[in-house]
Amino acid sequence: MTIPHVEIVNTVPEDLSAIYALFDSAISYQKENNFPVWNGYDRALINREIADGTQYKIVIDGQIAGIFSAGDAGPLETELWKERTAEKSLYLNRIVTSPEFKGHRLFSRILEWAEIFAEEHGYHYARLDTWADNPHLIRYYGSFGFANLGLVQTSDSADLPFQYRGLTLLIMEKEIWQR
């Protein structure tokens, strides 16, 4: 068995149709498997992340296998993490895997990338949030060493992407780089 070539690079505007298809398939997967379901996705946010260079794609043998966002604290993270945002942390969001690559533990590739990125940019922690009522994802992220830091309720603020408003989320953290 050959190990496929994997690279993580920024998404570009030409990827938009593939990105939207990934989000649509993720929402379908959530519904089919009785998981909590995203209430759509904010296309303006996706465009902003592409322009800001904070959205990435996992490319395997030329195919987009998944996407995620990574960067400093924005309005969502500030609401979820409050005073903890003072600690230089890399926030991982909107992690979406293509149906063809489910089960390949692509998150391990994201973490490998995040550890290198953290060292280059001085981030101490990787942080993420997930549905409070999705034990499957909580266990999955926990299997990579993410600690459960508790539940947080989001507001209905217009500053938040619409799919994050009025939710109960679990915040999780992993130390990824020591000075």
pLDDT at 111 (0 to 100): 96
Domain that holds residue 39: 6-175
pLDDT at 65 (0 to 100): 97
Is there a domain that residue 135 lies in?
yes
Is there a domain that residue 33 lies in?
yes
Is there a domain that residue 63 lies in?
yes
Is there a domain that residue 10 lies in?
yes
**What sign for the dihedral angle of Cα 59, 75, 89, 130?**
negative
pLDDT at 14 (0 to 100): 98
Q: In angstroms, how far apart are the furthest CA atoms of the chain?
A: 49
pLDDT at 161 (0 to 100): 85
pTM to 2 decimal places: 0.93
Q: Provide block-wise average pLDDT over 10 residues at a time, the chain (179 residues).
A: 80 98 94 86 95 98 96 93 94 95 92 96 96 93 97 92 90 88
pLDDT at 32 (0 to 100): 92
pLDDT at 179 (0 to 100): 61
- The CATH number assigned to the domain holding 145 equals 3.40.630.30
Is there a domain that residue 89 lies in?
yes
Is there a domain that residue 1 lies in?
no
pLDDT at 91 (0 to 100): 98
Domain count, the chain: 1
d(CA 176, CA 144): 11
Is there a domain that residue 129 lies in?
yes
| DSSP class of 156 | -
Opening angle at CA 176, ends 136 and 126, nearest 5: 55
Is there a domain that residue 98 lies in?
yes
